[in-house]
Amino acid sequence: NAGVTQTPKFQVLKTGQSMTLQCAQDMNHEYMSWYRQDPGMGLRLIHYSVGAGITDQGEVPNGYNVSRSTTEDFPLRLLSAAPSQTSVYFCASSYAGTGGYEQYFGPGTRLTVT
């Protein structure tokens, strides 16, 4: 199993540009989530999904959109990038079984908005 994969690893955007961060998992997990990690702020939840077709907002959803058309994929869209969105983004998946909702993380995408 590849686990949770994220692309790209690095990205530089200009203010106002749009892009999609890709996330995929091959473990058939029900739940998927996106976090951003900033120095001193820990991990903050952006959006999450409890299954295909169902998404909800986390702590810091503004400026980001998500959709979940399949169990495997959970892309994060930045519609108009701003310097405040410079961060490291992590995707994670989990399931409600014996793992107790343990999160499996991808390697991250480092985004810089100039």
Partner 1 sequence: AQSVTQLDSQVPVFEEAPVELRCNYSSSVSVYLFWYVQYPNQGLQLLLKYLSGSTLVKSINGFEAEFNKSQTSFHLRKPSVHISDTAEYFCAVKSGGSYIPTFGRGTSLIVHP
Interface contacts to partner 1, rule CB under 8 A? 31, 33, 35, 40-43, 45, 48, 50, 58, 90, 92, 94, 96, 100-103, 105-108
Helix-, strand-, coil-residue percentages of the chain, each rounded to 5: 5, 50, 45
Residue 90, C-beta contacts closer than 8 angstroms, at least 6 positions apart: 6, 34, 35, 36, 37, 43, 105, 106, 108, 109
In the complex, minimum distance from the CB of residue 27 to partner 1, in angstroms, rounded to a whole number: 14
Nearer to partner 1, 62 or 100 (CB): 100
Structure tokens, 54? 């169902």
Closest to partner 1 by CB, 50 or 52:
50
Q: With CA atoms as reference, report the closest residue to 49 among 92, 100, 106.
A: 92
State the nearest-atom distance from the C-beta of 6 to partner 1, in Å: 9
Closer of 13 and 31 to partner 1 (Cβ):
31
Amino acid letter for position 50: V
Smallest distance from the beta carbon of 44 to partner 1, in angstroms? 8
CB of 33 to partner 1, least distance (A): 5
